[in-house]
Chain A
């Protein structure tokens, strides 16, 4: 399927940028004339992926988050959230609901929420190199 548009951005791994990343993907997705629900879904999935970079990949320290959004002619969105942080030792385990390596108020639902609010979630990770999360979702929007 033909790619019709794309944006890329890099942000520092600061928690204040979580809202900015959500707003950026929502604004870009608006060109597909999506429903309010679809916009909410991608904002939620992106929020989880970006939070993971900040909390887990960089452990609340310095780092960069690379976000890209590719849009296809059939309304399919591919959002990639990449970091060069610590990587995930066991991706399968990390994706299990309620699994968390952090205590406190972390719920261990990050990947479950991404899966619930996207059509497809792919995770590639190498310990010491970083993690790439690819979120795919078709925006059917208000098209007939």
Chain B
């Protein structure tokens, strides 16, 4: 599964990897939604640094998860989008409701240890 989930207190961190398109998005959606329902996070953090390709399906993925997290009173943050993915997100107007951030390099290295662990 190209998403690793790590729970950190009231935060739910989802590390996405590989290509996000209409074919791969449903499995990602189901996995993240299940974790949202189980954990009811205060903050849902979606990490994109290992995503090699994304089309507009990525917008649907973030928008849908934003709504799902909001249903439990949670906020959504999106980390480390590459420039083309950021361009697509900006087209959608999602930048008005979701916070887009960059992980500081040292934190990225620390975050990297979640890969391959926690399911």
Chain A residues within 8 Å of B, Cβ to Cβ: 15-16, 18-19, 22, 37, 40-41, 43-44, 47-48, 51, 54-55, 97-98, 104-107, 109-110, 112-113, 116-117
Chain B at the A interface: SS class? helix
Q: How many A-B residue pairs have CB under 8 A?
A: 66
B92 and A98 form a contact (CB under 8 A): yes
If the complex has contacts A48-B55, A51-B55, A98-B92, are A19 and B60 also in contact, measured as CB distance less than 8 A?
no
Chain B residues within 8 Å of A, Cβ to Cβ: 19, 21-23, 25, 29, 53, 55-57, 59-61, 63-64, 84, 87-88, 91-93
Which A residues touch B87, using CB under 8 A? 116
B61 and A105 form a contact (CB under 8 A): yes
Known: A37-B84, A112-B91. 4 other contacts (CB 8 A): A15-B22, A107-B59, A109-B88, A113-B88
Chain A at the B interface: SS class? helix
Which A residues touch B92, using CB under 8 A? 98, 107, 109
Instruction: Specify the chain A residue showing the minimal Cβ separation from B24.
Output: A19
